[in-house]
Chain A
Amino acid sequence: MSKRIDVSDLDVYYGDFLAVEGVTMTIEARSITALIGPSGCGKSTFLRTLNRMHEVIPGARVEGKAVMDGVDLYGKHVDPVEVRRQIGMVFQRPNPFPTMSIADNVLAGVKLNNRRLPRSEQEEIVERALTGANLWNEVKDRLNRPGSSLSGGQQQRLCIARAIAVRPQVLLMDEPCSALDPISTLAIEDLMNELKDDYTIVIVTHNMQQAARVSDRTGFFNIAGTGKPGRLIEIDDTSVMFSSPSQKATEDYISGRFG
């Protein structure tokens, strides 16, 4: 249940503004790819192009290729809705649906799509997804309470459960821990380690230790100056990136000399 994505020559625009330029990289299956880089260099923008969430912003568009399973996600006749069902996403700020209970939040992918499932199957999905997100033990007695009654860290794990409940091939995470305390962060990092057996994971993070701890490969984005497009400087195995990167800029960034 996981796929690799081959991105080649991807340019990402907001209207006329070129935000990210010429990204070529391979996102390996069953592994965690971390994207690091200074603020505003286009990590979030690039991540959102992978499941075609970028184009929901008015005027936003993408040029280039992102091939998964031999199909170009940006090819003709590819339905973005279909892409998003295969490539799930977890956002920076936890965003459970406020009108839904914990269980309904997990089932949101099913219920919002008007799919009907027998009760037993629904319960099974809820338990599987919540267990997968390391949340089951904490909420199993209050599945009918509103999702917003949970703590921030629990809400974020609820959002992860919601994303994996629809069994995507790939999971994108945009700074999933930046609003969380260290303990919740640890819980989510453990979770990612378990999830990578089944999913391809791409995570954007500002936290260098986190990238070093959890990821198998690390990509470094940088920007030449404000108004200039962001670029992928290099991508390699995490151990290589953190010990002997081939680019000077990467070394400076990782050792904390700028950014």
Chain B
Amino acid sequence: MSLLELKNISKIYGELKALDKVNIHVDKGEWVAIMGPSGSGKSTMMNIIGCMDKPSRGEVLLDGVDIAKESSRKLTDIRRDKIGLVFQQFHMVNYLTAVENVMVAQYYHSMPDEKEALEALARVGLKERAHHLPSQLSGGEQQRVCVARALINHPELILADEPTGNLDETNENIVLDLFAQLHKEGTTLIVVTHDPEVADAAQRTIVLEHGRVAREVINENFGK
């Protein structure tokens, strides 16, 4: 069953076509990797899927709703209710502790629940560091807090833009294991990456080049 469908979307900045007539289809529960050289339009596409930006042309159907036509207020609602975001640069509120940062997502979504937030941190192996400020955490730890924050509201779709770009091997594996778990639980995952190993963990890889879909590769080894 289809969760997301990009139909002929383009994003144009003046002369530059960041995205050029892209067609992508993602099923519910699927784990998809997006690859491509720098500047190929990966983040641009993720922002559009994440309801933070709109395409210049085309339709974006999320759960059957064309989000390209919604008001920004409605987009905020959809983003809050359905999507968990992990960013390329790990963004945290720098004056709030790790657990508070997770609770911020709960706060905007529904009700802050410290116990649940601590459990999410435990899931990414950060139980001990829950009450540290971002400045007291390493890059890998911060990115794991961001992952915990993304999954705290049990979103249907997790969008991760280079979640492991700044991580070492150990941290990368922690995050990938977590993604595998989420996948098992039925969450749809779209992960942008430069790293073939990360891409190999997904069911399917879509490669972008110059704003177009260059090719799609089904991962034969998935689950093995």
Asked if A pairs with B, the answer is: no
Task: Using CB atoms and an 8 Å cutoff, list the residues of chain B in contact with chain A.
Answer: none
**Residue positions of A touching B, CB distance < 8 A:** none
